[in-house]
Amino acid sequence: MTKKGDGPAIVRRRNCDDEELMHILASLQIIEPENIVRLANKRNLTKFCKDVGRRLKAAYGHMKDCSLSSSQKMYANLIDGVESLYETICLNEPYKRKFEAHSSCFKKLYNELDNCDGPKDWVEDSNKTRLCKAYENIVDCYMIKTAMICGPEAADIFKKLLINVLRATVVTDCGLRTRATGGNIQTKPIMSERTYEMIYLIIIVILIVVLINVSGRSKKK
């Protein structure tokens, strides 16, 4: 604590500790923004909400007593993304019920989404065009896989969670927005109409192949 002339005391806060911040992120099991959404895919939602709520309280308790350096802001952004996940899936009851209705299928998605990860440290890219392209590719990949495995309705529900988390984590404005209205989260279209057409076309092709195989087996009998 120091004084400037006869004025009030100026409190100089200590710098946040890198190791403590990394420990917090490790306890939350997050490295990149897209990892955050998958936290809710592999665990019982009630236990998940209780555990994450406790860890977030500890994280913000640590950060309020110290100053973040410019290089540590990314840590704080990732923690903000987890908070957005928590608020969306744990505190928004209408959305939580919709998510739980598809939770068994969302759990199957956990390992399927590995290939959707963006380039290493993509969120720190100073090139906005390249960063936003990685952002859009991640969203499209998640939505296509979710639609194929769990169906279009589940994909729409999952999309709202994904965009809320990315919006809280990624500082750069890539033009993707969500807003909460009366407990219902609304999202501007994320994928182009052509992307949606591709998803449905892929689903139709898969169904046709399945029907052909079933028909072939029936004829052999």
pLDDT of residue 17: 84
Residues of the chain above pLDDT 90, percent = 16
pLDDT score recorded for residue 220: 60
* This prediction's pTM: 0.70
Our measurement of the distance from residue 106's CA atom to the centroid of its chain's CA atoms, rounded to an integer in Å, reads 13
Q: What is the pLDDT of residues 17-60, one digit of tens each?
A: 888 888 888 877 776 777 788 887 766 788 889 888 988 888 88
Mean pLDDT of the chain: 77
Judged against a pLDDT cut of 90, whether residue 88 lies above it is answered with: yes
Helix (H) / strand (E) element for 99: namely helix 93-101
Instruction: Note the pLDDT tens digit of each residue in 179-188.
Output: 332 333 334 4
Of 45, 24, 36, 140, nearest in space to 92 by CA: 45
Backbone dihedral region for residue 31 (phi beyond 0: left; psi -120 to 50: alpha; all else: beta): alpha
pLDDT at position 214 is 64
Give the pLDDT band of residue 199 (cuts 50, 70, 90): low
Query: Cβ distance 23 to 59 under 8 Å?
Result: no
Return d(Cα 205, Cα 207) in angstroms, integer: 5
101 near 49, Cβ under 8 Å?
no
Q: What are the boundaries of each domain within the chain?
A: 10-206
